[in-house]
Structure 1
Amino acid sequence: MRVVGEFGVIARVLARSGTARVADVGPGDDAAVLRAPDGRVVATTDVLVEGRHFRRDWSSAEDVGHKAAAANLADVAAMGGVTTALLVGLACPPDTPTTWLEGVAAGLAEECAPLGAAVVGGDTVSSAPDSGAVVLSVTALGDLGGRAPVLRSGARPGDVLALAGRLGWSACGLAVLRRGFTSPAAAVAAHRRPAPPYAAGPAAADAGATAMCDVSDGLLADARHLAEESGVLVDVDRAALVRATLALPGPLQQVAAALGGDPMAWVLTGGEDHALLATFPAGTALPEGWVPIGTVRAGGPGVRVDGEPAEAAAAAVGAEGTGHAHFR
């Protein structure tokens, strides 16, 4: 096995990183220099830990790169912005194959390219040999394009709760992989490479969305974040949610039937699809890709499903809790 060293790794990774449209100075110096056309910068960070967020025996290096980028790009979209650049911190064992790191870089670049974004810098470090784990810390920078940022705290009683993107697919794919299978392929692919509706975030901001967040921990869990920040009660309409997510037969129903479960458990509490959840004033014409799934009411703060507490609704479909929570 050839040892290329830190700078050899960096050179190979950067060769696959693409170019950011806003970069005046890209990788290679002590820091990148980026243009900020709006005069403001959206910034967010996510950390992916091997064994917690991905497994190398389940996902290719390219899959890991796509997933790491998607988690951050979705957060920028949820503010109403568009990602312009990424910074990546990487810790890995000394014997990590360079080809695997090149694959991660390729996945990051492919996920960012349609937005005109790219990796513009970062850091690499050797992790403790006995840990064996790869850790990726990705920081995304974005541009609001003149829009006001859409916060979690703006929902008001009478607003419509709406969804863009899919729910439950990543959790379904994870359930498949945990049982040693790789089919249905669509569900497994959804876990390996989320497909957030990036354009829906800026579109929602332009349409007057009052609050927005991405669904990374589960619909009920993230709706609670929005409800608590806004001081309101969010009531999910189960029938509308079924129409939006389970109206057509697909992998969720197929896998749930095979496992003897309820696909609504994944829809309500499954994370890592990075759909977008937003509230709009009543009567707003929802942008393309957005569908109504509930209402905002006075009271709370909290989340209900057809008036039933979120915890009870989750338990009724066999879900353990209302979504993911670190350190729980």
Structure 2
Amino acid sequence: MRTSPLPLTVGDLSEGELLDRILPRLAAGPSALLGPGDDAAVLAAPDGRVVVSTDTLTQDADFRLVWPNGYAHTGYDVGWKAAAQNLSDINAMGAAATGIVVSLTLPQATPVGWVEDLASGLLDAVRSLGASRCALAGGDLGRGSELSVTATVLGTLDGRQPVLRSGAQVGDTLAVAGSLGSAAAGLALLEHGPAYEGLDAALRELVGRQCRPVPPLEAGPAAASSGATALLDLSDGLLRDGMRLAAASGVRLDLDPDALALRAQALGHAAEVVGVDPLDWVLGGGEDHGLLAAFPADAQLPHGFAAIGSVMPADGGEPGVSVGGTPAATRGWDHFAK
């Protein structure tokens, strides 16, 4: 009986041979004065300042190769998400990305095709999400016992001041750009939902929002230009990230329950399938990588932002988050929670 050849793995190639398969899938981009292939890349810094952020995705902590519902998490998914979550951090400063470098730790049994797909996912995310100035400038390869991807993104402020978490003022309008709870709904379907092959198109789209998030990269610079007093990437959930903004600014964020209910209503189908309250996803679900922003009350919200509350004085001097005036218990993603 004829058997299929075993797939080529990382352990079958030298570092140089593996790089020869990855580098052609990268693009230098307009900000690169010297792209990948040398000891280091050289990127332009026209603003004279560099914004930088880094994040890591690790197998079985941040993604599974195969999820309980049968979805096979591809290298393309991981590459896309590694780019998206870091681009979102640059976005949350009101900046635009100019370069990205990636460090890969790979077990020897990792299929080479999976790594090639990761490089393609990185490039496609940068192009599709609108980071047109971002160069894929190179990185590092290493061998290890678990699959891990660390991306570092650089950005430019283009003459603007960075928008910090600490600038929200009493009386400001609280607004969001991007989705709330979609990625959490997708995660719940991956972990607890029916078989992926049986999901309808709407539910598969939510799975996609978990595996390939879509941060609104035009929103950060637009918010900065429109006078935003505070900005923050929504990576760990509205309540947890909102508490971070409130604490940094010394204020209370009061969320509008009607605005939250509308967001939850859009997730009702998935919530019925999994058996949860969709409001829990809206308030506590992370990884949507939208933006939470505060704007002066008389400011016109930029395209893509929707009001969800207001900035109030801190109760008794203690910053916090409330819903319709009622204090809300902080919940959301915590890497070190037990």
Normalised TM-score (structure 2): 0.89
- Of 258, 271, 274 in structure 2, the residue corresponding to residue 239 of structure 1 is 258
Contact 1:169 1:191 in 2 (8 A): yes
Alpha-carbon offset, residue 246 of structure 1? 3.9
Contact 1:84 1:140 in 2 (8 A): yes
Taking the aligned partners of 2:80 and 2:274, their CA distance within structure 1 comes to 28
Aligned match of 1:77: 91
Taking the aligned partners of 1:260 and 1:9, their CA distance within structure 2 comes to 45
Alpha-carbon offset, residue 233 of structure 1? 0.8
Contact 2:189 2:274 in 1 (8 A): no
Aligned match of 1:270: 285
Secondary structure, aligned partner of 1:240: helix
Normalised TM-score (structure 1): 0.92
- Of 108, 124, 147 in structure 1, the residue corresponding to residue 160 of structure 2 is 147
Aligned match of 2:327: 309
Taking the aligned partners of 2:73 and 2:270, their CA distance within structure 1 comes to 20
Matched, 1:107 2:121: yes
The letter for the 2-side match of 1:210 is: T
Taking the aligned partners of 2:93 and 2:175, their CA distance within structure 1 comes to 15
Matched, 1:12 2:24: no
Instruction: Report the number of matched residues.
Output: 311
Aligned match of 1:317: none
Provide Cα deviations, 1:55-102, integer angstroms capped at 9, x if missing partner. Answer: 122321111111111100000000001111101111010121111111
Provide Cα deviations, 1:126-180, integer angstroms capped at 9, x if missing partner. Answer: 003xxxx211111000111111100001001111100000011111111111125
Aligned match of 2:4: none
Provide Cα deviations, 1:188-246, integer angstroms capped at 9, x if missing partner. Answer: 11111001111011000000000000100000000011011111111111112333x24
Q: How does 1:154-193 map to 2 (within 5 A)?
A: 154-179=167-192, 180-182=194-196, 183=199, 184-193=203-212
Aligned match of 2:144: 127
Q: How does 1:28-47 map to 2 (within 5 A)?
A: 28-47=37-56
Contact 1:109 1:118 in 2 (8 A): no
The letter for the 1-side match of 2:208 is: A
Unaligned runs of 5+ in 2: 1-6, 67-71
The letter for the 1-side match of 2:303 is: E
Aligned match of 1:318: none
- Of 287, 303, 312 in structure 2, the residue corresponding to residue 297 of structure 1 is 312
Aligned match of 1:55: 64
Alpha-carbon offset, residue 124 of structure 1? 0.7
Taking the aligned partners of 1:10 and 1:213, their CA distance within structure 2 comes to 35
Across the aligned residues of Structure 1 and Structure 2, the Cα RMSD in angstroms comes to 1.3
Aligned match of 1:223: 242
Taking the aligned partners of 1:94 and 1:10, their CA distance within structure 2 comes to 15
Taking the aligned partners of 1:282 and 1:191, their CA distance within structure 2 comes to 33
Alpha-carbon offset, residue 21 of structure 1? 1.1
Aligned match of 2:3: none
Contact 1:269 1:322 in 2 (8 A): yes
Taking the aligned partners of 1:20 and 1:286, their CA distance within structure 2 comes to 31
Unaligned runs of 5+ in 1: 312-320
Taking the aligned partners of 1:289 and 1:181, their CA distance within structure 2 comes to 34
Taking the aligned partners of 1:259 and 1:14, their CA distance within structure 2 comes to 41
